């Protein structure tokens, strides 16, 4: 399997895993994984602790051996050419650590050296990266004084300084307060704007949903679901969109029935006398509005909700309990 990673045409995958297996003795941590990550996307690895996310990440970096199958990162095999891979990938480990007795600037200067950045460039790149994660003011303070959020940002600065093409972030927001989390997610979006492919592992479903283009759901070393959130919703919940309509019906018309007949709508639920919840396989707002108006109703409010990843997740594991075959089919 060869791919030209460097000057690849726009959408050639940057990471390709085929039947990836990692065994620890008798235990199988990663069990026949296959997935692809395309350039420029934010790909979420989702799942409970111990589902094999971190092991998969370590295999991408060549930091743990692959028992079976292949993985290709930017056209290289991380097991055989780890330096070529690690030169172009940035990695923010789970609960990243720094040398507490050094300042942020010194910490980055050390890794800059290890990255092989030219001496003349080093201090500029360190300073620029620290500015981007808004740590420039405290750059000369020892990392021991940093909060967890600041450490995570420092880890992100390291990836920016490296000018990595792929950023792998392992549980970057666990243990952060909501404000730091929001800030951090913004910075991840910024990375994406720079054209960096981001791999994000997390068990925080709502955050993943907020920023990921596609997600892979891990369970016991396997990917049981993969795709964008609307796709998964269609697959699991049977509908991708929930549209809420608040409208006063004209006397004598059954608005619920009118809405049900809109094409694409799978079900209509009457929440209150004047409120209806439609589940649909695409965004049916315009059609729903037209249907209300056509029935002489007064449209007060129209909102569309993507189904939450949490709902998908919960529902998926519920159905799985009933049907053991789903596991193998996925």
* Residues in contact with another protein by the rule CB under 8 A: 54-55, 58, 61, 63-64, 79-84, 86-87, 89-93, 95-101, 110-111, 113-116, 155, 158
Query: For residues 63 and 60, what is the distance between their CA atoms, to the nearest angstrom?
Result: 8
Smallest distance from another protein to CB 254, Å: 60
Return all residues near 176 (Cβ < 8 A) that are at least 6 apart.
148, 149, 152, 184
Instruction: Work out how close the CB of 59 gets to another protein at its nearest, in angstroms, rounded to a whole number.
Output: 11
Q: How far is CA 21 from CA 18, 204, 278, in A?
A: 9, 25, 42
- Whichever of 158 and 287 has its CB closer to another protein, that residue is 158
Task: Tell me the three state secondary structure of residue 59.
Answer: helix
Q: Which residues of 161-183 are buried (b: 16+ CB within 10 A; e: fewer)?
A: bbebbbbbbbbbbbebeeebbeb
Beta-bridge partner residues of 275? 246, 272
CB of 107 to another protein, least distance (A): 9
97/324 with CB nearer another protein: 97
CB of 144 to another protein, least distance (A): 11
Distance CA 303, CA 317 (A): 28
Compute the least distance from the CB of residue 325 to another protein, in Å. 33
Alpha-carbon separation of residue 243 from 61, 141, 236, 270, 289 (angstroms): 43, 50, 18, 12, 11
Q: Which is nearer to another protein, 156 or 268 (CB)?
A: 156
Q: Rounded to whole angstroms, how far apart are CA atoms 179 and 15?
A: 32
Nearer to another protein, 159 or 280 (CB): 159
Cβ closest to another protein, residue 28 vs residue 266:
28
Measured from the CB atom, is 117 or 239 closer to another protein? 117
Q: Residues 294, 301: contact at Cβ < 8 Å?
A: no
Alpha-helical regions (H) of the chain:
53-60, 82-88, 104-115, 119-132, 148-162, 178-193, 205-211, 229-237, 255-260, 285-294, 309-322, 325-329
Tell the smallest beta-carbon distance from residue 152 to another protein (Å). 12
- Give least dist CB 195 to another protein, A: 20
Nearer to another protein, 102 or 326 (CB): 102
What is the sign of the dihedral through the CA atoms of 290, 296, 297 and 300?
Answer: positive
Report, in angstroms and rounded to the nearest whole number, the Rg of the chain calculated over CA atoms: 24
Residue 99 or 310 with smaller CB distance to another protein: 99
Q: How far is the CB of 182 from another protein (least distance, A)?
A: 24
Tell me the closest approach of the beta carbon of residue 68 to another protein, in angstroms. Answer: 15
Q: Residue 286's CB: how many other CB atoms inside 10 A?
A: 10
Q: Which two tokens stand for residue 130?
A: 């620290």
- Of the two residues 82 and 227, which places its CB atom closer to another protein in the complex? 82
């Amino acid at each position: 399997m060869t791919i030209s990673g460097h000057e690849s045409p726009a959408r050639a995958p940057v990471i390709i895993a085929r039947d990836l297996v990692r065994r620890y003795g008798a235990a199988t941590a990663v069990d026949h994984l296959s997935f692809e990550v395309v350039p420029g996307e934010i790909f979420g690895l989702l799942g409970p602790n111990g589902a094999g996310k971190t092991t998969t990440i370590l295999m991408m970096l060549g930091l743990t051996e692959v028992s079976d199958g292949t993985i290709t990162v930017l056209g290289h095999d991380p097991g055989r050419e780890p330096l070529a891979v690690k030169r172009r990938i940035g990695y923010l480990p789970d609960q990243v650590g720094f040398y507490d007795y050094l300042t942020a600037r010194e910490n980055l200067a050390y890794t800059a050296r290890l990255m092989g950045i030219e001496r003349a460039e080093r201090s500029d790149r360190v300073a620029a990266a620290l500015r981007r994660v808004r740590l420039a003011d405290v750059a000369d303070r020892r990392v021991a004084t940093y909060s967890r959020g600041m450490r995570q940002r420092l880890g992100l600065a390291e990836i920016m300084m490296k000018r990595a093409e792929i950023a792998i972030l392992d549980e970057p927001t666990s243990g952060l307060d909501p404000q730091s989390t929001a800030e951090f997610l913004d910075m991840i979006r910024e990375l994406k704007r720079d054209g960096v492919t981001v791999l994000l592992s997390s068990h925080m479903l709502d955050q993943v949903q907020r920023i990921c283009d596609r997600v892979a759901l891990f369970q016991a070393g396997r990917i049981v679901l993969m795709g964008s959130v609307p796709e998964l919703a269609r697959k699991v919940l049977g509908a991708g969109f929930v549209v809420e309509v608040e409208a006063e019906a004209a006397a004598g018309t059954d608005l619920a029935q009118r809405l049900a007949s809109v094409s694409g709508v799978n079900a209509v639920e009457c929440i209150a006398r004047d409120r209806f919840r439609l589940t649909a396989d695409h965004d049916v707002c315009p059609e729903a509005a037209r249907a209300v108006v056509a029935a002489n109703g007064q449209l007060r409010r129209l909102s569309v909700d993507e189904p939450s990843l949490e709902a998908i997740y919960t529902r998926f594991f519920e159905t799985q309990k009933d049907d053991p075959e789903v596991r193998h089919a996925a």
